[in-house]
């Protein structure tokens, strides 16, 4: 009786050497960039929800490369954001407090949403700055309080 290990498995590569989901995702990114350029519409691709074969995610990230902009956010765990070598294509890597990946997104936008100040945070900042200004300056010219 033969087992599953006896079944031959062949991995086929496209003419471009890409296999699995890397090529379809690159096409999706291309269409998202086109929409962004033409209409300003943003696109979010949840890589954590896509089944990758061995090495596919690493291949995709390698093909996208890194651009000039990176940011780190500390909120409920570290989040790292970087622009790829293709302007407007961002990777957003969310981790929990134990630095375990909980989400990996490609965001096609002028700037990722996570880096934008939220309206309620801006309103709160106005109130905090008003309170500081109302407290006045000390003798050294620094804000009190």
Q: How far apart are CA 18 and CA 81, in angstroms?
A: 25
First-last CA distance in the chain: 80
Greatest Cα pair distance, the chain, in angstroms, is: 90
Overall pTM > 0.85: no
pLDDT digits (tens, 9 = 90+) for 132-143: 888 886 767 676
Average pLDDT, the chain: 86
Confidence (pLDDT) at 135: 82
Confidence (pLDDT) at 14: 46
pLDDT digits (tens, 9 = 90+) for 27-81: 999 999 999 999 999 999 999 888 888 889 999 999 999 999 999 999 889 999 9
């Amino acid at each position: 009786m033969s087992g599953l290990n006896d079944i031959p498995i062949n991995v086929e590569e496209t003419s471009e050497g890409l296999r699995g989901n890397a090529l379809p995702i690159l096409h999706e990114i291309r269409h998202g960039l086109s929409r962004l350029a033409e209409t300003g519409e943003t696109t979010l691709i949840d890589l954590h929800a896509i089944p990758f074969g061995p090495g596919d995610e690493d291949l995709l990230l390698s093909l996208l490369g890194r651009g000039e902009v990176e940011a780190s956010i500390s909120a409920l765990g570290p989040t790292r954001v970087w622009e790829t070598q293709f302007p407007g294509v961002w990777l957003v890597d969310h981790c929990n407090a134990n630095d375990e990946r909980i989400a990996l997104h490609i965001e096609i936008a002028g700037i990722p949403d996570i880096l934008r100040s939220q309206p309620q945070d801006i309103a709160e900042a106005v109130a905090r700055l008003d309170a500081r200004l109302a407290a006045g300056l000390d003798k050294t010219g620094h804000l009190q309080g």
